[in-house]
Amino acid sequence: MRAVVYTRFGPAADVLDTREMEPVAPTAGEVTVDLAYSGVNPSDVKARAGSRPGVTEPPFPVIIPHSDGSGVVSAVGAGVPRSRIGQRVWIWNGQWNRPFGTAATQINLPAEQAVPLPDGISLQTGAVLGIPGLTASHTVFSGGEVSGQTVLIHGGAGTVGLLAVQLAKWGGARIIATASSRNFDRVLEAGADLVLDYNDPDLAAQILEGNEGQPINRIVDVEFGQNVVTNCEVIAENGRINAYGSAQNMAPTLPFYPLMFKSATLEMVLVYLLPPMIRGAAIKHLHDALTDGALHCPVQAVFSMRECASAHEAVEAGNRSGAVLLDTS
């Protein structure tokens, strides 16, 4: 099989290489997926660069990057029904705690990590459902359904944020989102009822005014450290803050008493570690929204495997209008 690999940390152009590798048959409980697309996420880029806290060298001698992908099941190991052969699937946790991810023509992994795609959903969309899709689904619906509630989505123009806006709208919520002014139209088109500039110094007051003076039931947050004071001001009693990022402030001061006296729930979301039942619920919400035609997963660019370094650089550059994929077919 053909794969993109790295053996050391460093800039994408310096450490990523394409090589031929011997294919391996699936073991008991595994499937082999002939990959069509591999999703490139910020976490993949950080892992290759060696920028994860406390990690000083690659955890495996040779690493095939990327956790998300899509393709067709071509072989099954013992204990897996042969009826799975030929299924179109999407993949989660392809390279989480494993050396070989989805930046390859094939991957072997536990059968439950290859999820059958709903009919009519493209393989490109499938490659976006792992980290971005599951993060959006879980952060919107963790804590229960959102119908009739107001959901605040910080960073509504990002890949996760844009999916979260669509999912919350599909779920029957009223949505207030934050974004940069240049992205207001995209976020409104995705379903937000109101979009506010996340750099506005009067953001908390604008959020409350936009919700008729009422506090917010649920908050989805990509920059917890930057937004923690605003969130404390606007969260409702017994409200919930689901935070999946804090890159700009990794060590924020937590205003404990303001949150405690609202009995607010704070969940730090790491999508790789979702327990099976909770992951299953997130998958069901994704599939139901896709089947209802309520979820569109935009793709900004598709690169070849030999252009993997350029794909990583596109993710590092930020300000994307959609997902970045590798064509691995």
CATH of residue 67's domain is 3.90.180.10
Q: What is the pLDDT, as a whole number, of residue 56?
A: 87
CB 235 within 8 A of CB 242: no
| Tokens (6 digits) for 255 | 């205003």
Distance between CA atoms of residues 88 and 108, nearest Å: 15
291 domain-assigned: no
pTM score of the predicted model = 0.97
Q: What is the pLDDT, as a whole number, of residue 152?
A: 98
| Tokens (6 digits) for 290 | 């896709």
Q: What is the pLDDT, as a whole number, of residue 52?
A: 82
Strand partners, 20: 2
User: Is 124 in the same domain as 178?
Assistant: no
Q: What is the pLDDT, as a whole number, of residue 51?
A: 86
User: Is 144 in the same domain as 268?
Assistant: yes
| Tokens (6 digits) for 89 | 């699937």
Distance between CA atoms of residues 47 and 315, nearest Å: 13
Distances (CA, A) of 143 to 61, 217, 260: 40, 10, 17
pLDDT digits (tens, 9 = 90+) for 216-274: 999 999 999 999 999 999 999 999 999 999 999 999 999 999 999 999 999 999 999 99
Distance between CA atoms of residues 203 and 157, nearest Å: 17
Distances (CA, A) of 95 to 38, 64, 320: 11, 8, 23
User: Is 9 in the same domain as 120?
Assistant: yes
Residue 191 sits in which domain range?
132-272
| Tokens (6 digits) for 169 | 């709208």
136 domain-assigned: yes
CB 230 within 8 A of CB 207: yes
Domains of the chain: total:
2
User: Is 124 in the same domain as 144?
Assistant: no
Residue type, 276: P
Residue type, 101: G
| Spans in the chain with pLDDT lower than 50 | none
Number of C-beta neighbours around residue 77 at 10 A? 16
CA atoms within 13 A on the CB side of 294: 17
Q: What is the pLDDT, as a whole number, of residue 319?
A: 86
Q: What are the φ/ψ torsions at residue 246 (nearest 5 degrees)?
A: -160, 45
